[in-house]
Structure 1
Amino acid sequence: MNMDHMKTSFNEMLNAQKQKAIYSYITAGGDRVLLTSQEAPEDDPALRARTLHKVCAGIKRVLFVGISCGMSV
């Protein structure tokens, strides 16, 4: 199950209970990294920090789950 599908599923469950959709996700390098490596954006900590700050703007509480996957040979 990919992140967009999980976000959609969680938000649909909330909508069914008349709750506000609150789930979102971000990836270092954007959605393109789900299909192909994007080394420069993935390795840019300042870009990742700005992206996280942008999606958290105006939100009182945030649960951040970080997943790292190194698939080097």
Structure 2
Amino acid sequence: MNRRRVDYVILYVSDLQRSIAFYRDVAGMAFKFADAGYAEFATEGTKFALYERGRLPGLIGTEGVAGGPFGEVAFLVEDV
């Protein structure tokens, strides 16, 4: 069985509420929940979420580089 696929995508955003409104109201994605700077949408197969960029230092221990990081993409594979 081929299990290779994109498992999740998380975009880092500067304004979580505005971004939720965009993906929900303009892109038409079904909103699932939001908590502590994180929001997730109901999708089939691949998880799509948003994370407040201002909370990154607490998550990754650094401010990041100028302009980034912009998000995360995880791939599900059988073996590396």
Q: Give the TM-score range, shorter chain.
A: under 0.3
Larger helix proportion of the pair: 1
Q: Which structure has the highest strand share of the two?
A: 2
If the length of structure 2 is used for normalisation, what is the TM-score?
A: 0.24
Give the TM-score taking structure 1 as reference length. 0.26
Higher relative contact order (CA 8 A, sep 6+): 2
